Structure 1
Amino acid sequence: MLEASSTHRRSAYLNALTQEIEKKLQRALASPSQRRNLLQELFTDVALEIDDRARDIILSKEECMIYSAVDGANGQLCFYDVLADYYVRVPESGNHILDLIVHLWSQSFASHIFALLFHKWLFEVQIDSNEVLLRYSSALVQGATNVFWIDIQANTRRFQSLFRYLFEEVALEHKQINKIPGQVQRDLLLLLSRFIIFYNSADKLESFLKQFPVFPNAFLVGSPADFFVIELTDQLQKLKVEPVLLHYLSQIRVLQGMELRMATSTRLKACLYSFTSPGGPMYPTRAVRHAAWDALDFLYPVGQYPRHLISLFFRLLYPWYWPSSCWNFIMSCIKAVVYTLLGWVFSSWEKLRERTNS
């Protein structure tokens, strides 16, 4: 009896949320001047983290454990997570929302909302029309691209569950990814290639590359590994958030040993090298420069000393960088000496304590 009451309350709550989403979409459709603001507001609401009170209403204890296991890395459970599952279990509940979104396709944030609410529905519900399937799957890729970049700009992982579903449940499952048209499959795989490192899924990179279909220009570009590295290189050049760029540079070591075409390898090397020098066009910080050097030396150990000598020579051509370089060198030396002395003191103290105890 208690379980039935809890289920009814949960269903009523989700139905109420659905009605609120419908109302905001209807208002956006009826108010062209306020349309963008209303859709942005709705997107923000859907992406909100669920508070404890709402979590107790929406989820059972078993569901809480499941969501915690799936999303334990960042500890966030958002409304779109629960609503996406709800529209799979009860597909007819989202039909009106879907119709309204279709009328708002060309508007900002419409694809964002569709990707969050219907990314699971698209792969679980039968769609007979190829034209409709192409429209929906293309909107999914566009919306996912936009929301992942929102995470990049804010250096958060709010949409990590969306990425994990598309990566683990779709891209790595041959049956699932074949449900969408071939061109969209390729677009989705290239999209995921750009964000695998950001969402800490590089451990499944080998399995992911095996899922790549034959691309039309594969003869010119190369293997799936080449496609992946090209997308990753383009992503690195677009990143402007320092912590995110540092994360990419620290994790890019997974590329070690990967067989690449000479053109792809040169492209990656040139990209990393562009982050090693101060000034334009990248203007990397000192932390980024050192991270880029570490990645470059790790992936391309042959020729690392000549690279550093050439870099030093060019640094000498810009006298205005000398004071900061000298200061950083002196501070690094001081830190090294201090850490060495502290290590010696602690080791001596440990040896003295062992002798005393014995």
Structure 2
Amino acid sequence: MPQASTSTSSAYLAALTQEIEKKLQRALASQSQRLNLLQELFADIALEVDVRARDIILSSDEEEVTLAEDGISSCLCFYDVLADHYVRMPENGKPILDLIVQLWSQSFASHIFALLFHKWLFEVPLENSEALLRYASALVQGATNVFWPKGISVFYFPDTVDKLETFLKQFPVFPNSFLVGGPADIFVIELTDQLQKLKVEPVLLHYLLQMRALQGLELRMTTSTRLKACLYSFTSPGGPMYPTRAVRHAAWDALDFLFPVGQYPRHLISLFFRLLYPWYWPSSCWNFIMSCIRAVFYSILRLIFSSWDNLRKPKST
């Protein structure tokens, strides 16, 4: 029975792939309707999956687990499942990728590429370094216009150091690397630039959490300072970022994790500057009191459950 469900899901995704391929072929053949067709395709794959299609797609246990791990099961769009599908079955996405390459200079081509192949680019190995550079450039261009300013969804970020290192190792050596640094520096510079453009809290929290994968990268001093300044800008309330409390705590966690040296002086300096703004005192005191109450409450619960478990254990004779 699970095998039949998997077949149904795969057949549905294959049908979606064929429809996307047909629309791209029509866009390639019709110059007058090209922009409208690409715009329609972009809107179609960005739509949220309806209930009936969701039941078909999630009929496979493997796909359901993958989507749940990505944290997108509550809001599932067509490009979410297609991006996972092209990672598991890269051959199914190759005809679409070839058509997008032929439409490379057209509006919405990079947008569609970023939606459908943002996971594929990180997880499927490529031997051609020139193609990788072209795809990476299209990903940055498309993601800049799709994911960060509009906040359509959480953009894929490597959640392990191994994936990130593998991705960076595939990049060729740039001619001006002595000025901007290596692939890791370029990646972090682009990441900090885009991070400061984020306006959607869930997306920003996702990025701050996943930035732990940057630990251990060999960065230039200027790049490291740029990353530290970017994270520090999210730790204070008020302008110009106006980060929420959750964002401030996530930024502090990422900053302390990536730069453990000097974390205590940083917190003391931050506390001193917070004292210069009395209008923040009531909320800070209230949050501090509530945090203490929760900590005491959870400690009591742990003590109770620990005592209960000890009482239930049979005594050895």
Q: Which has the higher helix share?
A: 1
Structure 2 CA distance for partners of 1:265 and 1:313, relative to 1, 3 Å: same
For residue 223 of structure 1, report the CA deviation from its aligned partner.
Answer: 1.5
Question: Which residue identity does 2:127 align to in structure 1?
Answer: H
Structure 1 counterpart of 2:156, from 199, 203, 206: 199
* Partners of 2:237 and 2:77 in 1: CA distance: 40
Structure 2 CA distance for partners of 1:357 and 1:241, relative to 1, 3 Å: farther
Structure 2 counterpart of 1:144, from 81, 99, 110: 110
Structure 1 counterpart of 2:227, from 222, 245, 268: 268
For residues 222-279 of structure 1, what are the alpha-carbon distances to aligned partners after superposition, in whole Å with 9 as ceiling and x for unaligned? 1111111111111211111111111111111111121111000000000000000000
For residues 152-194 of structure 1, what are the alpha-carbon distances to aligned partners after superposition, in whole Å with 9 as ceiling and x for unaligned? xxxxxxx3x421233334xx3123x5358x6x35624756998
TM-score (norm 2): 0.69
- Is 1:165 equivalent to 2:120 in the alignment? yes
- Is 1:317 equivalent to 2:276 in the alignment? yes
Q: Does the Cα contact within 8 Å between 1:226 and 1:261 map onto a contact in 2?
A: yes
- Is 1:304 equivalent to 2:259 in the alignment? no
What's 1:332 paired with? 291
* Partners of 1:16 and 1:297 in 2: CA distance: 45
Task: Give the structure with higher Rg (CA).
Answer: 1
* Partners of 1:185 and 1:261 in 2: CA distance: 25
Structure 2 CA distance for partners of 1:349 and 1:51, relative to 1, 3 Å: closer
Q: Does the Cα contact within 8 Å between 2:155 and 2:203 map onto a contact in 1?
A: yes
* Partners of 2:113 and 2:19 in 1: CA distance: 25
For residue 18 of structure 1, report the CA deviation from its aligned partner.
Answer: 3.9
For residue 42 of structure 1, report the CA deviation from its aligned partner.
Answer: 4.7
Structure 2 CA distance for partners of 1:50 and 1:139, relative to 1, 3 Å: farther
For residue 316 of structure 1, report the CA deviation from its aligned partner.
Answer: 0.6
Q: Does the Cα contact within 8 Å between 1:277 and 1:284 map onto a contact in 2?
A: yes
* Partners of 1:242 and 1:185 in 2: CA distance: 28
Identical-residue share of aligned pairs (%): 53
* Structure 2 SS opposite 1:253: helix
Structure 2 CA distance for partners of 1:218 and 1:332, relative to 1, 3 Å: same
What's 1:218 paired with? 177
Name stretches of at least 5 consecutive residues in structure 1 with no aligned partner: 1-6, 91-115, 124-132, 149-158
Question: Which residue identity does 2:43 align to in structure 1?
Answer: T
What's 2:239 paired with? 280
* Partners of 1:222 and 1:16 in 2: CA distance: 39
Question: Which residue identity does 1:293 align to in structure 2?
Answer: W
For residue 201 of structure 1, report the CA deviation from its aligned partner.
Answer: 2.9
Structure 2 CA distance for partners of 1:81 and 1:331, relative to 1, 3 Å: closer
What's 1:120 paired with? 97
Structure 2 counterpart of 1:178, from 130, 133, 147: 130
Q: Which deviates more from structure 2 when the two are superposed, residues 266-275 or residues 46-55?
A: 46-55
* Partners of 2:91 and 2:251 in 1: CA distance: 47
* Partners of 2:24 and 2:131 in 1: CA distance: 31
* Partners of 1:320 and 1:217 in 2: CA distance: 48
* Partners of 2:312 and 2:54 in 1: CA distance: 56
* Partners of 1:66 and 1:26 in 2: CA distance: 41
Q: Does the Cα contact within 8 Å between 1:190 and 1:228 map onto a contact in 2?
A: no
* Partners of 1:229 and 1:67 in 2: CA distance: 33
For residues 59-91 of structure 1, what are the alpha-carbon distances to aligned partners after superposition, in whole Å with 9 as ceiling and x for unaligned? 9xxxx9799499755576849959x99xx999x
For residue 212 of structure 1, report the CA deviation from its aligned partner.
Answer: 1.2
Name stretches of at least 5 consecutive residues in structure 2 with no aligned partner: 1-10, 148-153
What's 1:187 paired with? 137
Structure 1 counterpart of 2:205, from 238, 246, 257: 246
TM-score (norm 1): 0.62
Q: Does the Cα contact within 8 Å between 1:276 and 1:290 map onto a contact in 2?
A: yes
Q: Which deviates more from structure 2 when the two are superposed, residues 67-76 or residues 299-308?
A: 67-76
For residue 314 of structure 1, report the CA deviation from its aligned partner.
Answer: 0.5
Matches within 5 A, 1:4-15: none
* Partners of 1:19 and 1:144 in 2: CA distance: 16
Q: Does the Cα contact within 8 Å between 1:71 and 1:77 map onto a contact in 2?
A: no
- Is 1:45 equivalent to 2:12 in the alignment? no
RMSD (Å) for aligned C-alpha atoms: 4.7
* Structure 2 SS opposite 1:238: coil
Question: Which residue identity does 2:42 align to in structure 1?
Answer: F
For residue 346 of structure 1, report the CA deviation from its aligned partner.
Answer: 1.3
Structure 2 CA distance for partners of 1:144 and 1:51, relative to 1, 3 Å: farther
Structure 2 CA distance for partners of 1:162 and 1:244, relative to 1, 3 Å: same
Question: Which residue identity does 1:144 align to in structure 2?
Answer: S
